Amino acid sequence: MTERTSPTNAVDRERDSSAGATSTVSTRNGAASVTGDRQQDRGARGTTNETDPTDTATTAQTATETEREHPLAIETTGLVKHFGETKAVDGIDLAIPAGGIYGLLGPNGAGKTTVIRMLATLLQPDAGTARVFGHDVATDGDAVRRRVSMTGQFASVDEDLTGRENLVLLARLLGYSRAQAAERTHELIDAFGLTEAATRQVKTYSGGMRRRLDIAASIVVTPDLLFLDEPTTGLDPRNRNQVWDIIRALVANGTTVLLTTQYLDEADQLADRIAVIDEGRIIAEGTPGELKASVGSGVLSVRLRDPECRDAARDVLTSVLDAPVELESDPAALFARIEDSDRVTQALDALAESRIEVTEFTLGQPSLDEFFLEVTDRQTRGGADRDATTGDEMRQEGVE
């Protein structure tokens, strides 16, 4: 039921991202034309999941039947968690098979962390069920804890101890002998590039070192399922890439990863499938490609040499792109949401003809904000989209 991405694909995608802006444009053009015709039905599908919760519940059920011998890594039905009056998680259904990376994407306070905390046995669900490799998190916590590991803002290491001491402590708690614990610690410290820092207190670590130690602490015994709660929030690009490398190495070794992130591009880089969460509910689900295709081909950002020309540039772009052009906080930058990426080259030509010098341009996917606004907006317009019945809608009709 899932489109699995092999590690090789993941590497390809990474190469893609490191390519310059120019080649990105051509890739974009290609991608846009391929996905263009899928756009409508994907959009409709995101809506379907939201408007009819039984739809995803049915998916979960079917999965259980077909994969009885191999229980899903994660399976939740109608998961609910309140904090006082707030419904932090409001009926989440997930069916995540073992292997690969699954992303939970959403803004702060969407309920991502609460979902992970319930799955890691840190919180008891108020309603619904959650199973990890077939073990109920509410009644069989010990069995769950033997299979999972967690990294994130809420599961960290002891800042007063050194990196080495932290790892030895965890290794001992997991049952290693003194000698084995020392050996395993050495191996992890070496692999995670922490040799220099091993004997320093963790509170002296930089953000990137700290995050690597957090992850090392989670894989003293390689878990079958690893929860990564916003693993790269606050990291610079270099450290972020290192963390991504580590995650990919784990997945290549067979660990299933459930990742939460606020960043669409991170989910895009890493995840095989993504659930978009807002206000405790899943509002869209699919592969990164499907989700992006559902909100149009992207955003053109342009940065000018001379901020004085920005108004002129805005006029040129508005007329060529036939789309609203917005100003960025950078006084020399502006951007436009575009549906038709073919016009991008025309727009750049037009700027050149008007003698407006461009120092930088990118044609990228929509930011999470834009993506998010689009999805939630569509959700409120629900009825209209539901009429656009396509292949994906068939299943829903079957249910009703």
Spatial contact of 241 and 90, defined as CB atoms under 8 Å apart: no
With binding defined as CB under 8 A, does residue 156 bind another protein?
yes
Site mask for another protein (CB under 8 A), range 253-272, x = bound: x-x------xxxxx-xx---
Q: Which is nearer to another protein, 374 or 393 (CB)?
A: 374
Nearest Cα neighbor of 227 from 204, 201, 255, 202 is: 255
Spatial contact of 146 and 222, defined as CB atoms under 8 Å apart: no
Q: Which is nearer to another protein, 193 or 307 (CB)?
A: 193
With binding defined as CB under 8 A, does residue 82 bind another protein?
no
Give the interface size with another protein as a residue count (CB under 8 A): 93
Out of 51, 61, 233, 318, point to the residue binding another protein (CB under 8 A): 233
With binding defined as CB under 8 A, does residue 219 bind another protein?
yes
Indicate the helix (H) or strand (E) that contains 259: strand 256-261
With binding defined as CB under 8 A, does residue 208 bind another protein?
yes
Q: Which is nearer to another protein, 196 or 322 (CB)?
A: 196
With binding defined as CB under 8 A, does residue 237 bind another protein?
yes
Out of 105, 115, 246, 295, point to the residue binding another protein (CB under 8 A): 246
Q: Which is nearer to another protein, 49 or 301 (CB)?
A: 301
**CA–CA separation, 297 and 336 (whole Å):** 11
**CA–CA separation, 343 and 337 (whole Å):** 12
Task: For residue 80, list its beta bridge partners.
Answer: 90, 127
Which range touches another protein (CB under 8 A), out of 51-59, 215-223, 318-326, 344-352? Answer: 215-223
**CA–CA separation, 213 and 192 (whole Å):** 8
With binding defined as CB under 8 A, does residue 323 bind another protein?
no
**CA–CA separation, 347 and 330 (whole Å):** 20
Return the structure tokens found at 211: 């995050």
With binding defined as CB under 8 A, does residue 77 bind another protein?
no
Out of 1, 11, 21, 352, point to the residue binding another protein (CB under 8 A): 21
DSSP 124: -
Site mask for another protein (CB under 8 A), range 101-140, x = bound: ----------------x--xxxxx----------------
Quote the radius of gyration of the chain (alpha carbons, Å): 23
Q: Which is nearer to another protein, 102 or 176 (CB)?
A: 176
Which range touches another protein (CB under 8 A), out of 250-258, 271-279, 308-316, 349-357? Answer: 250-258
Strands 333-338 and 325-327, by their bridges, are antiparallel
Give whole-number Cα distances, 142 to 119, 129, 137, 169, 245, in Å: 12, 16, 9, 20, 30
